[in-house]
Amino acid sequence: MEELLEILRDMHPDVDFETEEHLIDNGILDSLDIVSLISEISENFDVTITAKDILPENFNSAQALYELVRRLEDEG
């Protein structure tokens, strides 16, 4: 989780990713952020996020994103 938070903080140092639950709905993460998040995650974790998992509900909070990464790790 800490690793993921770091990636997110590098992107937006001004956002409290531990509490923010509307990263998408509030427009904090934009299209470019999503693209770079996905490439960062595939570099730092041993998972590939494919299009079917690129959904708002998986990106709205650090926790949701973390759960996605965990699930993909388990599946892998």
Partner 1 sequence: MQNNVLNYLNRIVREKPDKLAYSDGDQGLTFRQVYDQSRSVGSFLHDRGIYKKPVVVFMRKSPQEVAAFFGVVAGGCFYVPVDEEMPAGRIQLILDNVKSPLVICDRDTVGIARTFALGEGQAVLYDDISAVQADDGVLSEIYERAIDTDPIYIVFTSGSTGIPKGVAACHRSVIDYVEQLSEILAFDGDTVFGNQSPLYFDACLKELYPTLKFGATTYLIPKGLFSFPTALVEYLNTHRINTICWVVSALTMVSALGAFDEGRPEYLRTVAFGSEVFPIKQFRLWRQAAPKAVFTNLYGPTEGTGMCCYYRVERDFADGEVIPIGRGFPNREILLLKADNTPAGVGEEGEICIRGTSVTLGYYNDPERTAAAYVQNPLNTAYPEVIYKTGDLGRYNDRGELVFVSRKDHQIKHMGHRIELGEVEVNVAMLPGVRMAGCIYDSEKKKIVLWYDGDPDEKELTRALKTKLPRYMLPNRIYKVDKLPFTANGKIDRMALRKMYEKG
Q: How far is the CB of 7 from partner 1 (least distance, A)?
A: 9
Tokens of 47: 């998972």
Q: How far is the CB of 22 from partner 1 (least distance, A)?
A: 12
Report CA-CA distances (Å) from 47 to 8, 31, 43, 50. Answer: 17, 20, 8, 9
- Summarize as ranges the residues that interact with partner 1 (CB under 8 A): 10-11, 24, 27, 29-36, 38-40, 50-52, 54-56, 59
Q: Which is nearer to partner 1, 42 or 70 (CB)?
A: 42
> What dihedral do alpha carbons 76, 56, 19, 13 form, nearest 10°?
90
Q: How far is the CB of 66 from partner 1 (least distance, A)?
A: 18
